[in-house]
Amino acid sequence: QKEVEQNSGPLSVPEGAIASLNCTYSDRGSQSFFWYRQYSGKSPELIMFIYSNGDKEDGRFTAQLNKASQYVSLLIRDSQPSDSATYLCAPWDSSYKLIFGSGTRLLVRP
Protein backbone atom coordinates (compact mmCIF):
# COMPACT_ATOMS: atom_id res chain seq x y z
CA GLN A 1 0.00 0.00 0.00
CA LYS A 2 1.55 3.27 -1.12
CA GLU A 3 1.28 5.87 1.63
CA VAL A 4 1.53 9.60 1.98
CA GLU A 5 1.84 10.89 5.53
CA GLN A 6 0.99 14.40 6.67
CA ASN A 7 0.46 15.81 10.14
CA SER A 8 -3.26 16.56 10.31
CA GLY A 9 -2.73 19.69 12.45
CA PRO A 10 -4.06 22.21 12.94
CA LEU A 11 -0.81 24.07 12.49
CA SER A 12 -1.37 27.50 13.98
CA VAL A 13 0.94 30.39 13.06
CA PRO A 14 0.66 34.16 13.57
CA GLU A 15 0.13 36.43 10.59
CA GLY A 16 3.45 37.26 8.92
CA ALA A 17 5.21 34.10 10.12
CA ILE A 18 6.57 31.23 8.04
CA ALA A 19 4.36 28.14 7.90
CA SER A 20 6.15 24.85 7.28
CA LEU A 21 4.12 21.90 6.02
CA ASN A 22 5.71 18.48 5.75
CA CYS A 23 4.98 15.27 3.88
CA THR A 24 6.62 11.86 3.62
CA TYR A 25 5.83 9.23 1.02
CA SER A 26 6.53 5.52 0.69
CA ASP A 27 6.84 4.97 -3.08
CA ARG A 28 10.51 5.37 -4.06
CA GLY A 29 9.38 5.43 -7.71
CA SER A 30 7.57 8.76 -7.29
CA GLN A 31 9.10 11.39 -9.54
CA SER A 32 6.84 14.41 -9.30
CA PHE A 33 5.06 15.99 -6.38
CA PHE A 34 2.15 18.38 -6.11
CA TRP A 35 0.81 20.63 -3.38
CA TYR A 36 -2.88 21.48 -3.40
CA ARG A 37 -4.76 23.93 -1.19
CA GLN A 38 -8.35 23.15 -0.23
CA TYR A 39 -10.61 25.66 1.48
CA SER A 40 -13.46 24.21 3.54
CA GLY A 41 -16.27 23.05 1.27
CA LYS A 42 -14.31 23.75 -1.90
CA SER A 43 -12.33 21.69 -4.40
CA PRO A 44 -8.53 21.34 -4.30
CA GLU A 45 -6.56 23.92 -6.24
CA LEU A 46 -2.99 23.47 -7.38
CA ILE A 47 -0.36 25.60 -5.65
CA MET A 48 2.94 24.14 -6.79
CA PHE A 49 4.64 21.12 -8.25
CA ILE A 50 8.25 19.99 -8.00
CA TYR A 51 10.20 17.33 -9.88
CA SER A 52 13.82 17.83 -8.90
CA ASN A 53 15.64 17.59 -5.60
CA GLY A 54 16.13 20.94 -3.92
CA ASP A 55 13.99 24.04 -3.65
CA LYS A 56 11.48 25.63 -6.00
CA GLU A 57 10.14 29.08 -5.25
CA ASP A 58 6.93 30.71 -6.51
CA GLY A 59 6.06 33.98 -4.82
CA ARG A 60 5.49 33.37 -1.12
CA PHE A 61 5.60 29.60 -1.60
CA THR A 62 8.67 27.36 -1.61
CA ALA A 63 8.53 23.62 -2.23
CA GLN A 64 11.42 21.47 -1.06
CA LEU A 65 12.10 17.92 -2.23
CA ASN A 66 14.51 15.30 -0.92
CA LYS A 67 13.97 12.05 -2.81
CA ALA A 68 16.62 10.15 -0.83
CA SER A 69 14.69 10.87 2.38
CA GLN A 70 11.30 10.56 0.61
CA TYR A 71 10.36 13.93 2.01
CA VAL A 72 8.67 16.96 0.50
CA SER A 73 7.72 20.19 2.22
CA LEU A 74 5.94 23.46 1.53
CA LEU A 75 6.98 26.74 3.12
CA ILE A 76 4.63 29.71 3.13
CA ARG A 77 6.35 32.99 3.90
CA ASP A 78 4.55 36.05 5.29
CA SER A 79 1.50 33.91 6.10
CA GLN A 80 -1.87 35.62 5.71
CA PRO A 81 -5.25 34.73 7.23
CA SER A 82 -6.37 33.93 3.66
CA ASP A 83 -3.81 31.09 3.67
CA SER A 84 -5.90 29.28 6.29
CA ALA A 85 -6.90 26.06 4.54
CA THR A 86 -6.01 22.39 4.31
CA TYR A 87 -2.87 21.62 2.30
CA LEU A 88 -2.72 18.31 0.47
CA CYS A 89 0.53 16.66 -0.56
CA ALA A 90 0.24 14.45 -3.64
CA PRO A 91 3.05 12.50 -5.26
CA TRP A 92 2.58 10.72 -8.55
CA ASP A 93 3.24 7.06 -7.86
CA SER A 94 5.29 4.84 -10.15
CA SER A 95 2.14 3.77 -12.03
CA TYR A 96 1.22 7.40 -12.72
CA LYS A 97 -1.62 7.72 -10.26
CA LEU A 98 -1.79 10.72 -7.93
CA ILE A 99 -1.78 9.61 -4.30
CA PHE A 100 -3.14 12.18 -1.84
CA GLY A 101 -2.24 12.63 1.79
CA SER A 102 -5.06 13.42 4.19
CA GLY A 103 -3.81 16.99 4.48
CA THR A 104 -2.54 19.45 7.07
CA ARG A 105 -4.93 22.10 8.32
CA LEU A 106 -3.25 25.51 8.59
CA LEU A 107 -4.65 28.33 10.72
CA VAL A 108 -3.11 31.78 10.37
CA ARG A 109 -3.97 33.97 13.37
CA PRO A 110 -4.47 37.71 12.65
Partner 1 sequence: NAGVTQTPKFQVLKTGQSMTLQCAQDMNHNSMYWYRQDPGMGLRLIYYSASEGTTDKGEVPNGYNVSRLNKREFSLRLESAAPSQTSVYFCASSDGPGYEQYFGPGTRLTVT
Q: Which of 14, 42, 78, 80 binds partner 1 (CB under 8 A)?
A: 42
Shortest distance in whole angstroms from residue 110 CB to partner 1: 26
Q: Does residue number 4 form part of the binding site for partner 1 (CB under 8 A)?
A: yes
Examine residue 43 and tell whether it contacts partner 1 (CB under 8 A): yes
Amino acid at the residue 87: Y
> Does 97 participate in binding partner 1 (rule CB under 8 A)?
yes
Contacting residue, 19, 21, 37, 44, with partner 1 by CB under 8 A: 44
- Cα angle 97, 87, 74 (rounded to 5 degrees) comes to 90
> In the sheet where 4-5 sits, what is the strand order?
4-5, 19-25, 71-76, 61-66, 54-58
